[in-house]
Amino acid sequence: MIAEEKLKILTNSAKYDVSCSSSGSGRRNAGGIGNGMPDGCCHSFTPDGRCVSLLKLLMSNDCVFDCKYCMSRRSCDVPRATATPEEICELTVDFYKRNYIEGLFLSSAVHISPDHTMELLVRTVRLLRTKYRFFGYVHVKGIPKADPLLVTEAAKYADRMSYNLELPSEKSLKLLAPQKSRESLLLPMKQLQRERAVFRAEKRKGSFLPAGQTTQMIVGASPERDGQILRLTQSLYRANGLRRVYYSSYSPVVEDSLLPAVQSPALREHRLYQADWLLRFYGFDVEELVPEDENLPLDVDPKCAWALRNLHLFPVEVNRAPLEMLLRVPGIGGRSAQKIIAARRYTALTFEHLKKMRVVLRRARHFITASGKFYGEKNELAVRGLLTAGEHAERAQQLSLFDTAALSARTGEL
């Protein structure tokens, strides 16, 4: 059994990695323990509101790299630990058996050298699949600059692999993660994409990354704008076939003169994810969402912002609008759109119906008509005001003429 202290150190260093999803793989059980659940499964939720799906662990946090933003970097004084492949396999199987986790998320600091680290990861997943006969979900993080053959070997056993782009531009990467280069991250990504395509085309036995690849970027540690980030995201989805791009709000865990000292706002991360969803599930193109050198607006969500810029397309009639258009109405998501499409086959829907079907109308009512009726505001300014009012309600404070005076009276200065 792995020592408690070691587990603590290796988890603590892995917890800032955002990716925790266990979806996308339907790996079958072939006489051992575990299988894949294509929809994914959350096993617990921590007080920070995130789900625990995978056992997220570093193989080692003893790093030879010196990336400025990372708490495991070489020049940082933190307790170091390295686990053995057996310890990790045992932990995974015993946690899985008790239904604590859906699988393993294995990452590592660059321990001794990239090749040595990658070899250690490969050895662990191979052991897990062959000796421990584990068929649950395994996500392996790729180590930049490792031998391509080791990468291929890891992909044979893993369900998903990921190389973290870390920062949205080459320039920032050079500045903050001097030992990594854009090349060292994109090349293995493309290698895996190529090999996976070949594997699929030849319909070979076994599996090769059934859940594909993902990546992650830190937002707010470098000056890139949302427009630039989302353009990169879109090209990763379209050209590199990635399944997910994760964004992680920068939080200052280590001090460095090159890094901002403040936590990047969570709302910005949230807006990026909203835009990311619009790209993947709502048929939007990044050009429609935000210009390259701008950020997404914080006061309204990206779909609302798009709709407000395109008011000439609205209102749409819910009983006639095609699915693609319904999906573009602020406040109507995939499930509501499907419900509307199903229900309108039988009867002309009214606002009363929509409300009962739990379609959220707070935003949508400004952009739709139901059986010809319209209950929203036509004027753009009024709509914008109403939409942002809801978002601000908690933070907003009535300005008062007397605030400053009262304050100076208390502090004694006039």
Partner 1 sequence: MIYFFDGSKDAFLTAFLCAFRDEDAYLTTGSRQLSLGQQSVFVPADRKRARRCAQRLTSFDGRCMHDLDMLLRSGEAERGQTAFCYFRLLADRKRPVRGEFAEDAVRQASECIRRVGLEVHRLKGFVRFMECESGALYAPIAPDHDVSDLLLPHFRARLPNIPFVIHDVRRSKAAVWDGEHTFTAPLARAEIALSADEAGWQTLWRQYYASVNIPSRERLKQMKGYMPVRYWKFMPENPSAVVDAFTAPPASRAGSQDGAPRPHGSAQ
Q: Which residues bind partner 1 (CB under 8 A)?
A: 1-2, 4, 7-8, 11-12, 14-16, 29, 31-35, 37, 41-52, 55-56, 91, 94-95, 97-100, 102, 135-136, 251, 266, 339, 342-343, 345-347, 349, 353, 356-357
Least separation in angstroms between CB 289 and partner 1: 26
Does residue 65 contact residue 110 with C-beta atoms inside 8 Å?
yes
Query: Helices marked H in 158-313 — which ranges?
Result: 170-176, 182-201, 226-238, 266-281, 286-289, 302-309
Nearer to partner 1 by Cβ, of 47 and 322: the residue is 47
Q: Specify the pairing of strand 103-107 against strand 54-58.
A: parallel
CB of 384 within 8 A of CB of 363? no
Say which residues have a Cβ less than 8 Å from residue 328's Cβ, sequence separation at least 6.
Answer: 282, 283, 284, 303, 306, 307, 313
Report the nearest approach of partner 1 to the CB of residue 340 (Å): 8
Cβ closer to partner 1: 29 or 408?
29
Output 94 or 391, the one with its CB closest to partner 1. 94
CA distances, 141 to each of 31, 95, 356 (Å):
27, 20, 46
181-214 core/surface letters (b: 16 or more CB in 10 A; e: else): ebebbbbbbeebbebbeebeeeeeeebbbbbbbb
CB of 388 to partner 1, least distance (A): 22
Q: How far is the CB of 42 from partner 1 (least distance, A)?
A: 5
Nearer to partner 1, 72 or 172 (CB): 72
Instruction: Work out how close the CB of 203 gets to partner 1 at its nearest, in angstroms, rounded to a whole number.
Output: 24
User: Which residue number, 40 or 315, has a Cβ lying nearer to partner 1?
Assistant: 40
For partner 1, which is the closer residue by CB, 35 or 388?
35
Q: Which residue matches tokens 């990921």?
A: 162
The closest of 129, 125, 135, 124 to 97, measured between CA atoms, is: 135
Question: Nearest approach, Cβ of 215 to partner 1 (angstroms)?
Answer: 21
